[in-house]
């Protein structure tokens, strides 16, 4: 395979991954924020099964401060069914994909994704990722979150 063919294969693989990502993100349903002038915390928590993965059961804790949109919690079920069909090799790769998808669909002021997996014989494996809009800061609000 020459360099051009190799680049075409790489581009094709990226297009397929991008297409799957867009279809998966489309499963996340939102509605308008009923109080966009106020900073408040949305907390969602659930455990889901990953059938094609070394991570059979993962607990998600999602915290975010909405901007214009809020997530409809029921839409997470179909989204996680789509995630379950992917072989996630690490909690870190799963977490990075989750926060990217959620941040792109919700565009929250601040978001935190926490994943926890109990590893038999090893203990708990936890990954925490967060992101925020450029220029958004509410130190008093964020300071209170550490006590939750």
Position 54 scores a pLDDT of: 67
Q: Which of the listed CATH numbers 1.10.10.10, 3.30.1130.10, 3.60.20.10, 3.40.50.1860 matches domain 3-145? A: 3.30.1130.10
- Residue bearing tokens 């997470």: 76
Position 90 scores a pLDDT of: 86
Position 40 scores a pLDDT of: 96
pLDDT (tens digit per residue) in 60-88? 999 999 999 999 999 998 898 888 878 88
What pTM value is reported for the model? 0.82
Position 17 scores a pLDDT of: 57
Task: Enumerate the domain spans of the chain.
Answer: 3-145
Low-confidence ranges of the chain (pLDDT < 50): 1-13, 16
């Amino acid at each position: 395979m020459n360099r051009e063919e190799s680049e075409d294969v790489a581009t094709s693989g990226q297009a397929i991954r991008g297409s799957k990502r867009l279809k998966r993100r489309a499963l996340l349903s939102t509605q308008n924020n009923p109080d966009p002038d106020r900073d408040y915390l949305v907390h969602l928590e659930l455990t889901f099964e990953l059938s094609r993965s070394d991570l059979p059961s993962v607990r998600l804790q999602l915290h975010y401060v909405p901007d214009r949109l809020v997530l409809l919690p029921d839409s997470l079920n179909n989204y996680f069914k789509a995630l379950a069909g992917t072989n996630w090799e690490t909690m870190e790769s799963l977490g990075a994909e989750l926060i990217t998808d959620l941040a792109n669909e919700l565009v929250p002021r601040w978001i935190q994704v926490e994943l926890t997996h109990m590893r038999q014989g090893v203990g708990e494996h936890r990954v925490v990722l967060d992101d925020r809009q450029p220029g958004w800061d509410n130190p008093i609000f964020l300071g209170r979150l550490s006590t939750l």
